[in-house]
Copies of this chain bind each other. A is one copy, B any other.
């Protein structure tokens, strides 16, 4: 194995050394398993040769970008070869007038956006990991982020792909044009496929002009129901805010205790932004949102007057994950998603689950599209706590599904939610997913053990 892989990528782009494989045993989830080797291909042709080799030897192959998956998507749970695409990091073409950017899979999301910003353009999906996450990874997980309600997710921007199929064949999908209905939309089959159908090597993305103005406001509420109503009524108002984030009481308390940010005692805080081409557009929309907030008994409302204010208002939201991560030995970050009108039901239900099991859960996330992140705080070294955490997680999944929601808005299924897919999907759909997996990857080499689709 060693010899052939070194032949393909060169000695400097191969490792089977324990100390170099350790970081490839993890991602941002709680799953761990060591691969047998890792390679850093520098071209699609090398990727193709690696895949052919793995397919011949029926060796698991795990494509990896920055390894920031929160669901175990990048963990080589059956060993095998990690194919790290970070050296394929060239921006191949930016065409502003034609509204597309073509990049290699290893290009970092923020690097692309820095290049686009020079022309006033942006690739809108903004996962929290964008400073390190790669475009290939964003596509493989259909990365979302804060602005999903107004600007959609990665899926909505993928025009075309270059993919190395599990046979090693190189395939082009899609087009360079904004519209295309020629044949099946194979690009979208790979968006969110979590490395189980092939290796994405190049991506052509639609890009948007950057909105020139934005305005930020924060409101706090003493009752979750009021916050929920404020969100629902905003979504019905004809205004589509570019940001509509929510933080629950537990999150706010943790931020207050661990930072110098001044926060009122509240059941919920909503951070919102409107954006547009003109300041008038931004203000008129914000006026509507603030009126709605005011009608729902807020404790406080603050509006940013300048950039410093704006950053201050964002501070609490931005520190949620890190503050909570430090607040306990271990944590699991989920991303159940419900219709917007059910957000307060989800939050109240999570509080009930937390109380029942005596386990702390802080919930925050993207209220504008119903995508919430319950962060379950526990101790991974205490077997009782681990068992309890799993029970809590399952109850949250059940709750989200009962509210017409989904297991995952943006983190993916990976390992963490593989056993719960049938809660959401009917047997016919599960069977078709398995058939498609089998027809593309009959030897089950691509990221095996994920999503329970290869059984």
- Residues of chain A having any CB pair with chain B under 8 Å: 95-100, 119-120, 141-142, 144, 148-149, 152-153, 155-156, 165, 169-173, 175-186, 188-189, 191-193, 197, 208-210, 212, 232-233, 235-240, 276-278, 280-281, 284-285, 337-341, 366, 368-371, 404-413, 417, 421, 424-426, 428-430, 432-433, 435-437, 439-440, 451, 453
Contact = CB atoms under 8 A, between A and B. Distances in A.
A149 to B, nearest CB: 6
A49 to B, nearest CB: 16
Contacts of A98: 235, 339-341, 370
Given A171-B432, A238-B277, A439-B439, A183 B369 contact: no
Given A99-B235, A182-B424, A406-B182, A177 B341 contact: no
A177 B210 CA distance: 26
A179 B370 CA distance: 8
B408 A186 contact: no
14 contacts: A153-B179, A171-B429, A176-B339, A178-B371, A179-B371, A180-B409, A181-B411, A181-B413, A182-B407, A182-B421, A182-B424, A184-B189, A188-B191, A209-B240
Contacts of A236: 96-97, 119
Contacts of A179: 144, 148, 153, 337, 366, 369-371, 406, 409-410
A425 B170 CA distance: 12
Contacts of A280: 278, 280-281
Contact of A178 (B277, B370, B440): B370
Contacts of A409: 177, 179-181
B276 A238 contact: no
A188 B181 CA distance: 12
A184 B436 contact: yes
Nearest to A142: B181
The 3 closest A-B pairs by CB, nearest first: A188-B188, A179-B409, A178-B369
Given A120-B238, A186-B429, A451-B183, A369 B177 contact: yes
Given A176-B405, A183-B424, 20 more contacts: A97-B233, A98-B235, A98-B339, A149-B178, A153-B179, A173-B429, A175-B405, A175-B424, A177-B370, A178-B340, A178-B368, A180-B409, A181-B408, A183-B433, A184-B189, A184-B197, A186-B432, A188-B191, A209-B240, A238-B277
A209 B239 contact: yes
Contact of A177 (B237, B406, B421, B429): B406
A152 B144 contact: no
B428 A165 contact: yes
Contacts of A370: 98, 177-179
A230 to B, nearest CB: 11
A418 to B, nearest CB: 10
Contacts of A178: 148-149, 337, 340, 368-371
Contacts of A437: 184
A181 B209 CA distance: 26
Contacts of A451: 183
A340 B99 contact: yes
Contacts of A237: 209
Given A149-B178, A171-B428, A185 B155 contact: yes
- Interface hub of A152, A184, A371 (most chain B Cβ within 10 A): A184
